[in-house]
A and B are shown apart, each in its own frame.
Chain A
Amino acid sequence: ETGVTQSPTHLIKTRGQQVTLRCSSQSGHNTVSWYQQALGQGPQFIFQYYREEENGRGNFPPRFSGLQFPNYSSELNVNALELDDSALYLCASSLNPGVGGEQYFGPGTRLTVT
């Protein structure tokens, strides 16, 4: 069974640019959640996708957008990058969006904005 994978591992971008991060969910999982973890802080929920539809969103501006594909993999897109977007971006997959369902986290993508 393949776990959650994310690409790329590290990324350096310039302020104002756009970035796309990718996540492959664990086999059989139809729900993907994205989190932003700034240095020294806990992860913050960005949004969740369930069966290709957005299923909830945290307190992030519209320049953070996402997609989920028929194979349940997902992308996180960030436009007009700001210095504060520098963080570890974590993807988590789960079998369903139901309460108490375990979320399996990927290793993350470290984004640095200069």
Chain B
Amino acid sequence: AQSVTQLGSHVSVSEGALVLLRCNYSSSVPPYLFWYVQYPNQGLQLLLKYTTGATLVKGINGFEAEFKKSETSFHLTKPSAHMSDAAEYFCAVTTNAGNMLTFGGGTRLMVKP
């Protein structure tokens, strides 16, 4: 079985500040990890994914995440927040069994001017 925990259901940052959204996972087999963003009244958009290889993954809109096996973490970062980054962010995991995703509870990012 696999699970995802996102620490902090709400995160507030000032425009231009560092964004850090936390994700920890539990998996009995090597995981494949994803970050999705959801804007109001929309579906999910893939930001980035880790499957194999380099543990630092770069995604769209300046986001990146680092897979740390020893810490079972896959935190999402962005050096400088923009107002347009305000949205709900979901971390997800899947395993070799297929691409059925297990999602965390989500983190709502608020960006203050």
Residue ranges of A at the interface with B (Cβ–Cβ < 8 Å): 4, 31, 33, 35, 40-45, 48, 55-56, 58, 90, 92, 94, 97-108
- A31: B residues at CB distance < 8 A: 99
CB–CB A97/B98 < 8 A: yes
CB–CB A41/B43 < 8 A: no
CB–CB A48/B98 < 8 A: yes
- How many CB-defined contacts (below 8 Å) exist between A and B? 71
Q: CA A22 – CA B44 in complex, angstroms?
A: 17
B41 CB to closest chain A CB (Å) equals 8
Is B83's CB within 8 Å of the partner chain A? no
Count of chain B residues with Cβ under 8 Å from any Cβ of A?
28
A contact patch SS: loop
A30 CB to closest chain B CB (Å) equals 13
Is B90's CB within 8 Å of the partner chain A? yes
Is B94's CB within 8 Å of the partner chain A? yes
Q: A55-B98, A94-B99, A99-B96 are in contact. Are A107 and B106 (CB under 8 A)?
A: no
Residue ranges of B at the interface with A (Cβ–Cβ < 8 Å): 4, 6, 32, 36, 41-46, 49, 51-52, 90, 92, 94-106
CB–CB B100/A105 < 8 A: no
CB–CB A4/B43 < 8 A: yes
Other 20 A-B pairs with CB < 8 A, given A55-B98, A58-B100: A31-B99, A33-B99, A33-B101, A35-B101, A40-B106, A41-B105, A41-B106, A42-B105, A42-B106, A43-B101, A43-B103, A56-B98, A98-B99, A99-B51, A100-B49, A101-B99, A102-B46, A103-B101, A107-B41, A108-B43
